[in-house]
Amino acid sequence: MRRAVFPLLAAAGLALSGCQETAIAAENHFKAPKPAVIAEESSGLKTAIFAGGCFWGVEGVFSHVKGVTSAVSGYHGGSKRQADYKLVSNGLTNHVEAVKVTYDPKVVRYDQLVRIFFSVVADPTLKNRQGPDRGPHYNAALIPVNAEQRKVAASYLSQMKRSGKWSRPIVTGISPAKTFYPAEGYHQDFMAKNPRHGYILRWDKPKVRALAQYYPEHYRSAFRRN
């Protein structure tokens, strides 16, 4: 049963579920293995989609990565009609919360984004949950949008499984790219707009601090707003 334990922003009209639960211990973060396969990407901005639990933290981390020009919270899969926060966060649709990242591969490559994702954003040993949030709409997945990203994603997941870095089996997989629906406006740039929100302080600010600690070469102190 979900419990809302942190003050909600009445003006935003947040539902009493999804990104609002509590738990005993914070997530662990560590530096994931260096990718063996480097993404070979042409010049120009690229997009990638990451599902890693509550989209506030996923968006928040990537918004602090150099070379990322936008990180949009949204819903991947499912139907346009049901791409609604109250429905999705209550597990009533076939969507997962996800973030569409636009980035400049001359500054940060896809393989580097994947490494950051598994270092400080998502726990690849959890199925249908991340951090305090439960349900298939919080399942973590790599969602490559082209053949090069699929190659890199498959290679890195195999590398992770061989690495012995994780004490439990790797269950995160690759999901085929489907329609991405941007979330409601109050979810965009949520960490920047609500830096004192209880969920952000408890679960997502530690992810940004871990990004700065493990990847100072990729860390941007300023939040890149959409």
pTM of the model: 0.90
Q: Which residues are catalytic?
A: 54
Residue 177 counted as domain residue? yes
Q: What is the mean pLDDT of residues 90-101?
A: 96
Which residues constitute the domain of residue 111? 31-214
CATH code (residue 176): 3.30.1060.10
Residue 11 counted as domain residue? no
Tokens of 226: 């959409």
- Please, which contacts does 15-18 make with residues 24 or more away whose CB atoms are closer than 8 Å? 15/85, 15/86, 15/89, 15/90, 17/89, 17/90, 18/54, 18/85, 18/88, 18/89, 18/90, 18/97, 18/133, 18/137
Beta-carbon contacts of residue 163 (< 8 Å; ≥ 6 apart): 33
- What domain count does the chain have? 1
Residue 208 counted as domain residue? yes
pLDDT, tens digit, for every residue of 36-78?
A: 999 999 999 999 999 999 999 999 999 999 999 999 999 999 9
pLDDT, tens digit, for every residue of 97-124?
A: 999 999 999 999 999 999 999 999 999 9
Residue bearing tokens 């349900």: 135
Residue 226 counted as domain residue? no
- pLDDT value for 11: 35
Residue 164 counted as domain residue? yes
CA distance 205 to 225: 16
Amino acid at 10: A
Residue 3 counted as domain residue? no
